[in-house]
Every structure is written in C-alpha cells, then in structure tokens.
Amino acid sequence: QVRVVESGGGLVQAGGSLRLSCAASGSILSINAMGWYRQAPGKQRELVASITSGGATNYADSVKGRFIISRDNAKNTVYLQMNSLKPEDTAVYYCNAQIVGLTTYNRWGQGTQVTVSS
C-alpha cells in the first residue's frame, strides 16, 4: 500500500540545475532515512545522497559541493537539488525510504530519468 514516487527529472544542459522530489504515501507511522541513488547504463546502482530523520546528511564524493539533499517530514518528502550538472550525472535516479509501519522496511520508487547534455 505504501507508495514512493519520484518527479522532477528531465533534460538539462551541462552547468544547469534540476530539483528532484520524492513523496511517500500510505500506511506510514514515520520514515527513518531517505536517500537518492542513481544507475547509469552498464553501471551498478550507487548512493548519491542520504538524510536521516534528524537531518544528518551524507553525499557521494562525486556530488559533494554540487548537490543538496533536504526533507520535509510533515509531507513525507525528500528533495535533491542538483547544481552544476555534468554529463556524467546522467542516470536514472531512484528514491529509497525506510518506512516504519507495523514493520520497518525499505521501499523504492520507480525512478526518474536525468539527462545532462554537453
């Protein structure tokens, strides 16, 4: 019943910006950590950024100083502000949420495509 849905992807020129959103809905007591992952063709899925319920953040070295993760606990939503985008940022971006309900489990979104042109 719990759904995790990403939005905000698209095509942007190198040096531009995009803001991704991920909203969780359904039978949710609370959400622990939320994170953004990405997967490019021929590569493994990798962690881009994560944020705890208390606001502590972690970033992949490749995006430090360019991306900012934030969340709105009242809306069960996490955001990823992506600045100074590079062609190597091109990937499908996935949201993951650690859902607390009757049990605690991870739920993935369907992904949103980000394409950065040169």
pLDDT in tens, 53-63: 999 999 999 99
Task: Give 31's pLDDT tier (boundaries 50, 70, 90).
Answer: very high
High-pLDDT (> 90) share of the chain, %? 98
What are the backbone dihedrals phi and psi of residue 111, each rounded to the nearest 5 degrees, phi first? 95, 150
At 1 the pLDDT is 85
Q: How many helices (H) and strands (E) does the chain have?
A: 0, 11
CB-based contact 97:107 (threshold 8 Å): yes
At 75 the pLDDT is 95
CA distances from 12 to 9, 55, 69 (A): 9, 28, 19
